[in-house]
Amino acid sequence: MSVAAAANQQQNLTAAESDPQTLGWMQGFPPPQDRTITFQNGSFRSFPELRWAWSNIRQLVPTVNVWRGAGPASVLPRADHDIGASASVTMDGRPMTFARMLEETYADGIAVLHRGKLIYERYFGALRPHKPHIAMSVTKSFTGTLAGILIAKGKIDPQAPITDYVPELKASAFGDARVHEAMDMTTGLKYTEVYTDKNSDVWGLRRANGMAPIEPGYEGATNIFDFLCAQQKQGEHGKAFAYKTVNTDVLAWICRRASGMTLSDLLSERIWAPMGAEEDAHYHVDRIGTESGGGGLSTTLRDLARFGETIRNHGRFNGRQIVPSQVVEDIARGGDPEKFKPAGYTTLPGASYRNQWWVTHNAHGAFMARGVYGQGLYIDPKAEIVIARYASHPAAGNAANDPVTLPAYMALAKDLMAGG
Amino acid sequence: MSVAAAANQQQNLTAAESDPQTLGWMQGFPPPQDRTITFQNGSFRSFPELRWAWSNIRQLVPTVNVWRGAGPASVLPRADHDIGASASVTMDGRPMTFARMLEETYADGIAVLHRGKLIYERYFGALRPHKPHIAMSVTKSFTGTLAGILIAKGKIDPQAPITDYVPELKASAFGDARVHEAMDMTTGLKYTEVYTDKNSDVWGLRRANGMAPIEPGYEGATNIFDFLCAQQKQGEHGKAFAYKTVNTDVLAWICRRASGMTLSDLLSERIWAPMGAEEDAHYHVDRIGTESGGGGLSTTLRDLARFGETIRNHGRFNGRQIVPSQVVEDIARGGDPEKFKPAGYTTLPGASYRNQWWVTHNAHGAFMARGVYGQGLYIDPKAEIVIARYASHPAAGNAANDPVTLPAYMALAKDLMAGG
């Protein structure tokens, strides 16, 4: 079989067939050479290797801890309810169940909260309840929420020029942009983020943020800050939404400068410790110790669910107001769907993007944190549901998940509202 | 000032002068270029940079978690007692106090337990109570204790050839050695471990275990297993103690093969969770995910103290027998001082090395775990004392610490035994 044919066959492996334990990835001491995943050769980013890697990222790259604090974990009350048979119809018209949806979309784990109770929790692949899984761009919604907290405290002015906080960005694309434009991703940037294109600028960001090796002779930025300072403008700021991770990295920098804290300490102090996280989280860091605020957070599934429940409860959880309620309400209200529309997300008609969250504007007012390869946090205020999900889908883009997952979430919400 | 003169001046910085916060190392977003510590340029290994790095190693290299489990932390009862004025005389005849000893030997933290109570706990430099600090070769005593547990359970036979567990070592120096010879470091190896010599084999081990960058064109081993398989014999096995870290890495491999577990999971299951550790620990890993069992563990100071107290109590702690008592007794009895003597440790007259622990054979039967740059766990059974200590001394070898620390520990023991 040719290499291409073998690769193609691997791409077609189902979730069960690509289980890293079944395939023997990183099993044994040492693992067999053809079952070894390394950072250096880039294999961790390929399917099916990523099925192991997204649950073990700290073994591949340097990280910084997000401390859960010394207190007890907050209680997540349980009320087991097997929702596996909840029936839906995919966007392309196929009948589906909740359990089958998890398989088809390569879930590594799912936790469903209904009215604050953990009704359904499953783990697959290499994920375990106490192990952090990389959140990918779900990280952005944490950064956006931290920025919201700092805005509520008067430490960041969303209308201020970005250069008020990071003057070094003066000569970059961000030199004439405002904080809220980075928060809502409406800056005009030359930067491209096309995961399937090896020449896309996102690869430069990955080299800079430490998630891709640097080849000898590489002349691009080797840390996040230098990469941000080199971004060039294209088009106008404030006109249209364009999903570009560098906005979040800029926002993370604004948070650091405004708080005087690392992003990891800020997350620990403001959210992780007060919400009574069960386990520490971590960010992967670049070569000078900077957290990737755009995609580098890893958490356990249950802690992601706790964060979702905090947001669903207007910022209140574990007996205290963790996120000011107006921060959550600003997110839930959403941004301008007209600015979102030109981006062409066919699976998210009528949606908007606000403060690093995706807002559906559907009948339930659902909003989401989303990350490549199927990471997600789905909050349905009307149905009082939070769905935390980690995954390792063969395809990066969520267009591969949405047609199956989003109808399943909506069907589940209706079932639960009907008492089903 | 010449570079050499500047370097020399830095070498002479006191603990207070070299405080990483005071010097501004890794402070700011981003830190100034001349105050940035990176893995790639090797600066983390120089003084005073290492004063920051030994408390932040996971930001520099990949790591694997040692889970503390889901239970509560075990209680370390407190009975504050300011022993800072405890007086001693250094091996070179200078009057000293306990507090001054900590400064002179660049302690990052010290925790003293007396009869199971935490009487004295101090943090300096970049260390904080909840942050793990690299234990360096104190790691070896954890590996030795885990091996002891597996021996007690009949999973490892100390008299068996190493190749019974790791046949791939057949053609190496370990091909005709027995397990106990690796445990007691009496194998005959060509490998040299001279920290001040850039050509010493220890640098090859560091490249292999991921603690030193690999230069383009480097043809040596790029993972621990390959490095071990390439070790050559010199002299005879079983004749004399020679401190060579590769023995511990071989022992760690025997533990993995005998238990079917990674070293991190083994430590978590057998020691970290049962002893009720306060925080997770971690190992740094090589490029294929193997823990450095010879020097890669990082723990909080208090958890190191808990482990010391477990050993002092013949393996019993947190209401359960964690390490079989005969494992501890075998360690405490020590090895053969005649085999130790030729190694020429002038600060440890009459001592021996047993199962990866240093045994003083002094009047109190004290024994120790020791690591470069001043890491240590000191157990004095007669005085019922445990001293856990992390440090970032400018010099790697403990000959720089022993003349000041060991008399201070003995003086403190006498003070506390006298009720002082």
Torsional class of A301: left (φ above 0), alpha (ψ -120 to 50), beta (otherwise): alpha
For A222-279, the pLDDT digits (tens) are 999 999 999 999 999 999 999 999 999 999 999 999 999 999 999 999 999 999 999 9
Contact (Cβ atoms closer than 8 angstroms) between residue A365 and residue A328: no
Res. A196: pLDDT tops 90? no
Alpha helices in B170-300 (DSSP H): 179-183, 202-209, 224-229, 246-259, 263-267
d(C-alpha B194, C-alpha A228), whole Å: 43
- Closest-CA distance, A62 to chain B, in angstroms, reads 4
Tokens of B339: 């085999």
Of A40, A67, A287, the CB nearest to B40: A287
Q: Classify residue B165 by burial, with Cβ atoms within 10 Å: 0-12, 13-18, 19+.
A: buried
- Superfamily name and number for A87-138+279-417: DD-peptidase/beta-lactamase superfamily (3.40.710.10)
Residue B395 has a CB neighbour count (10 Å cut-off) of 17
- Closest-CA distance, A132 to chain B, in angstroms, reads 10
The residues with which B109 forms a beta bridge, in sequence order, are: B123, B390
Q: Which residue carries 């995609």 as its tokens?
A: A295
For residue B69, give the chain A residue with the closest CA: A130
For residue B167, give the chain A residue with the closest CA: A29
The domain made up of B150-250 has a fold known as Methane Monooxygenase Hydroxylase; Chain G, domain 1 (1.20.58)
Give the architecture (CATH level 2) of B87-138+281-417: 3-Layer(aba) Sandwich (3.40)
3-class DSSP state for residue B178? strand
Contact (Cβ atoms closer than 8 angstroms) between residue B131 and residue B55: yes
Which residues of A participate in catalysis according to the annotation? 137
What is the residue-level pLDDT of chain B in tens, covering all 420 positions? 444 445 555 668 999 999 999 999 999 999 999 999 999 999 999 999 999 999 999 999 999 999 999 999 999 999 999 999 999 999 999 999 999 999 999 999 999 999 999 999 999 999 999 999 999 999 999 999 999 999 999 999 999 999 999 999 999 999 999 999 999 999 999 999 998 888 899 999 999 999 999 988 999 999 999 999 999 999 999 999 999 999 999 999 999 999 999 999 999 999 999 999 999 999 999 999 999 999 999 999 999 999 999 999 999 999 999 999 999 999 999 999 999 999 999 999 999 999 999 999 999 999 999 999 999 999 999 999 999 999 999 999 999 999 999 999 999 999 999 986
Which residues, including other chains, have CB under 8 Å from residue A189's CB and lie 6 or more apart? A173, A231, A232, A233, A234, A235, A242, A244, A246, A247
Tokens of A382: 């009307």
For A80-126, the pLDDT digits (tens) are 999 999 999 999 999 999 999 999 999 999 999 999 999 999 999 99
Numbered ranges of CATH 3.40.710.10 in chain B: 87-138+281-417
Chain A hits for B76, CB-CB cut-off 8 Å, are none
Q: For residue B221, which amino acid is it?
A: A
State whether B223 and A30 contact (CB < 8 Å): yes
Res. A1: pLDDT tops 80? no
Antiparallel, parallel or unpaired: β B367-371 and B375-380:
antiparallel
Maximum CA extent, chain A: 62
State whether A130 and B70 contact (CB < 8 Å): yes
Q: Classify residue A243 by burial, with Cβ atoms within 10 Å: 0-12, 13-18, 19+.
A: middle
Res. A385: pLDDT tops 50? yes
Q: Could you give the percent of chain A with pLDDT greater than 70? A: 97
Of B62, B64, B279, the CB nearest to A62: B62
Q: Which residue carries 């870290």 as its tokens?
A: B245
Q: Which residues of B lie closer than 8 Å to A, measured between beta carbons? A: 26, 29-31, 36-40, 56, 58-65, 67, 70, 72-73, 130-131, 216, 223, 225, 253, 256-257, 262, 278-280, 285, 287-290
Tokens of A44: 């961790």
Chain B hits for A131, CB-CB cut-off 8 Å, are 65
Which residues of B participate in catalysis according to the annotation? 137
Q: Phi then psi for B66, rounded to 5 degrees?
A: -110, 105
Which residues, including other chains, have CB under 8 Å from residue B62's CB and lie 6 or more apart? A39, A58, A59, A60, A61, A62, A63, B210, B284, B285
State whether A29 and B288 contact (CB < 8 Å): no
Q: Which residues of A lie closer than 8 Å to B, measured between beta carbons? A: 26, 29-31, 36-40, 56, 58-65, 67, 70, 72-73, 130-131, 216, 223, 225, 253, 256-257, 262, 278, 280, 285, 287-290
Distance (Å) of CA B210 to CA A374, B140, B245, B373, B393 = 31, 17, 15, 19, 22
Residue of A21, A27, A29 to mutate when probing chain B, most B C-beta within 10 A:
A29
Res. A11: pLDDT tops 80? no
3-class DSSP state for residue A92? coil
Q: Mean pLDDT for chain A?
A: 96
Numbered ranges of CATH 1.20.58.710 in chain A: 150-250
Numbered ranges of CATH 3.40.710.10 in chain A: 87-138+279-417
- Closest-CA distance, B401 to chain A, in angstroms, reads 30
